[in-house]
Structure 1
């Protein structure tokens, strides 16, 4: 710290060619908003901020430089010293100058001229003086401290770490820091504690979730994971269904210490007996651990890919330099590629997809990386993302948007945006706060306080089908085969065009039926024929 009222020389910023490089003043303090000194000039009576200042002491000059002296017109320290009063002659050992701390690598002192900012003496805060917390600690094992519970248990000093943790727990209990509680048995489907030989697995499902699974879990179940909801970075897997109002409601939670396929298999096997029957399909992102685990536990169910994440993965790959179509000059080519993927997505039959994929490979045959990418990653699993692989009622859903909305509400509404939650706090939020929220939503729905968009859309579709039946369109419906329940329903706009409908699968090949995966007017008309006759 400088002495208030010390004489100093401040570097002049706006000067002419023949003017002096510095001006004498008096130090009166530090600026609050910048690393600069406040200098009072007696001749002009002004106070200015300056970052380039030399102080005059009894033993000579002390230089405090916070920016390079070579900025602007190559100002050098030697030239600045020519305007300073000549100090008294003293012995070299008595000269006091500010120097930098020794370098941790070479042990040499850096010169003041090489510094861009002031190197003031760094002192620890007052409250830390009782602790040894410096970087230059003599402890050679400072870098070997485990950061997670698994690392502590598997380290050579595992017994010592276990003893230290037990002592910490005992002190917390003695001071009544918290109260240990057991997990509610009614809501815990499966619990496997974490140790050296096994991973942590917690499977949760409340009574209301079981009822939602019974009522809405036959067509499609959404499955995805989210992170940053607890201080241990454990992922939270959620299974979610669509209710009668089109809202997503969770039916189970899975908390694990990792995301491996074997861990997910064990958790899903514990959930499998709670399903009244295997759902028609699951919808996931392109996570192979989730896909393989679902195929192993639910072999009867299809696993569909979220179209949004499929398109997102394709766009991100096209933007890479390895794709050979990156850069702003090839934006039109990327648009054509995306349009081809959308056309392949809309193919209602496998033969249509094969024809479109051959056309795609022929059109972009000169882009070898693109063709290899498509044939390796997307063509073998086309039944998971193209429409021909989901020709049944999949709940009017092409994406995982419902479960993404739930994760957003969980993080920013129920968890209040706090990422490093304790695990017991997360369990309390999932089993209490979230459960209460969905109970309120159900009461509002049953009281008619929330609009039922699904029922409104179905009523509109039924009115259109009734109008077509009144016009005699029902006489044009033909059966494709007597062995299978597939019917040909003519189009209302183009009588030469007909659509294939299947009442068993709740499917219609019209554009609305393919996109929504639910009842359209053609299917409703055919269903009415089955009901009447």
Structure 2
């Protein structure tokens, strides 16, 4: 059988890092050892200590340090086990562990005369290690491994993932996935080691620490100065003014952004002059700035026209912000309507935003999103109206919203007003009268003169806001306003560049035109270059399609929405409405 000394030597040898020459002396009665390591510089000593902690899965803290000006020693430090701390409490790791590690790095004998009788110093064994590896806690268990320090390699890996756009949680998931590939069946043990698989709290702390270093102060004057400098560099890189920051009279900050891709959408997408969509989202950074997106629709889906970031949602602040964004727009913005703005703007029922848009673009029709209108009515019915009565009142109001003509709208209002159930609720009748007074904003039959292209909701901008939260911010609050602006100018811009590239390469799914199987394409009459007469499959009559306006006289296509008659023209003649054939070059 092996002696106790041989057993201790074997155990300690397993703890030591590979690639070094060690001289080992072990005490027989205790788990203690004296080592000499062949090293030549202080940097090598620090590297050896780091590798020793990795190979032994032990974590050591400084107990005492010594000055580096000694006559005989270059470097000396006394270390203690991390489980000997001065903290107490429920979650403290303190066990008053007696384990210690003493390192002494001797001066070389090459350039001085020495009286030392240690022959190993002449052979280059300058690091003296005194290890007392007597711990009063378990070492190879999950509870001990999860308290280890995160290694420098893992921190570097996390930093690379953050720079590529990962959030703390997605970066940690990536590290776990890589560990599964690398470790295989040993993944169970690797995942328990905090040195190579940190917890999510550490990932979040590192994330904000990195961005604090990159983007300066989270708030205050220094943050504003940093942002101004970053915007100046960005404008210089783009060769034009794409972003600006201003402060209003009442001290509110506004940042307007119109990137090169947004400028191209303004000048090359016809729909940007017809109808735009505006929506907002708060709590995008740690100071809870409000972010407003301006978009239009196209054959490639929603495309951005501008971004506005403000510290307030008041009408005065939004008016100043939209005016600042207007000054950034390129010549020919809104497809040549830069002086008048778009024909229509669709928003939710935010009075401050609608007032600001009407002030800056007085010629635009400010429309109300149908979804938000019906949702607001349903919420109102929840207050004071019995559950079994709500559906009937809501369906009556839906009849007003989707009325085909102005006469049908008036008749539907008269019918609902005369309904005994509605008349029973005086508050409902009062609220209905207030909403009906704003019918120019929400009634579909009163907006047929506008080229809304069948868009009666804010779905495009709602989807774009989800892109900002998922693809740009990764469901995290930005560190500060500077980082939020930087992400909009880089990640948000890059996303739409990739999206448009995929669209140009015909790699975007779910962008199909309406089917025209029941339309007799042989009977389509081409009257001139842009006008076509198409037979109706249901009524037996005829509809007029104008490909120049991308409109049809059928109920679906009269506001420019894609319909089966326009699709039949495209299929028969190989040319047709803009929203079916792609973006204008």
TM bin (shorter chain): 0.5 to 0.7
Structure-1 residue corresponding to 2:110: none
Q: Which residue does 1:345 correspond to in 2?
A: 401
Normalising by structure 2, we get a TM-score of 0.51
- Cα 1:489–1:302 change in 2 (3 A) is farther
Correspondence for 2:513 = 457
Give the structure 1 partner of residue 441 of structure 2: 384
**Superposition pairs of residues 122-521 of structure 1, within 5 angstroms:** 181-183=230-232, 184-185=234-235, 186=238, 188-189=241-242, 191-194=244-247, 197-216=250-269, 217-245=272-300, 247-272=301-326, 274=330, 275=333, 276-277=336-337, 278-321=341-384, 325-326=385-386, 328=387, 330=388, 333-363=389-419, 364-376=422-434, 378-391=435-448, 392-419=450-477, 421-451=479-509, 453=511, 456-457=512-513, 460-461=515-516, 465=519, 467-468=520-521, 470=522, 472=523, 491-495=536-540, 506-508=550-552, 510-513=554-557, 517-521=560-564
TM-score by length of 1: 0.55
Q: Distance in 2 between matches of 1:342 and 1:499?
A: 28
Secondary structure, counterpart of 1:259 in structure 2: coil
How far did residue 249 of structure 1 move? 2.0
Q: Is the 8 A contact 1:474 1:525 kept in 2?
A: no
Higher relative contact order (CA 8 A, sep 6+): 2
Q: Tell me: CA distance 1:346–1:313, structure 2 relative to 1, closer, same or farther (3 Å).
A: same
Deviation at 1:268, TM superposition (A): 2.3
Paired residue secondary structure (2:277): strand
How far apart are residue 490 of structure 1 and its match?
A: 7.0
Q: What do you get for the CA RMSD once the two structures are aligned?
A: 3.9
CA distance in 2, matches of 1:490, 1:370: 45
Structure 1 residues 299 and 421: CA distance shift in structure 2, 3 A: same
Q: What residue number does 1:142 align with?
A: none
1:107-162 CA distance string (max 9 Å, x none): xxxxxxxxxxxxxxxxxxxxxxxxxxxxxxxxxxxxxxxxxxxxxxxxxxxxxxxx
Classify 1:302/1:208 alpha carbon distance in 2 versus 1 (closer, same or farther; 3 Å).
Answer: same
Gaps of 5+ in 2: 1-89, 92-218, 577-585
Q: Deviations over 1:315-352 (max 9, x none)?
A: 0000002xxx23x3x2xx21122222222222232222
CA separation in 2, counterparts of 1:178 and 1:251? 22
Question: Deviation per CA, 1:87-113, whole angstroms, max 9, x where unpaired?
Answer: xxxxxxxxxxxxxxxxxxxxxxxxxxx
How has the CA–CA distance of structure 1 residues 285 and 178 changed in structure 2, closer, same or farther, with 3 Å as cutoff? closer
SS of residue matched to 1:397 = coil
Instruction: Evaluate the alpha carbon distance shift between residue 304 and residue 197 of structure 1 in structure 2; reply closer, same or farther with a 3 A threshold.
Output: closer
Secondary structure of 1:457's match? coil
Considering fraction of residues, name the structure with more helix: 2
Compute the displacement of 1:423 (Å).
0.8
Tell me how far 1:290 sits from its aligned partner.
1.7
Deviation at 1:396, TM superposition (A): 3.4
Which consecutive residues of structure 1, in runs of 5 or more, have no partner in the other structure? Answer: 1-31, 34-163, 478-484
Give the superposition deviation at 1:237.
0.8
The answer to whether the 8 Å contact 2:344/2:366 transfers is yes
Distance 1:335 1:487, change over 3 A: farther
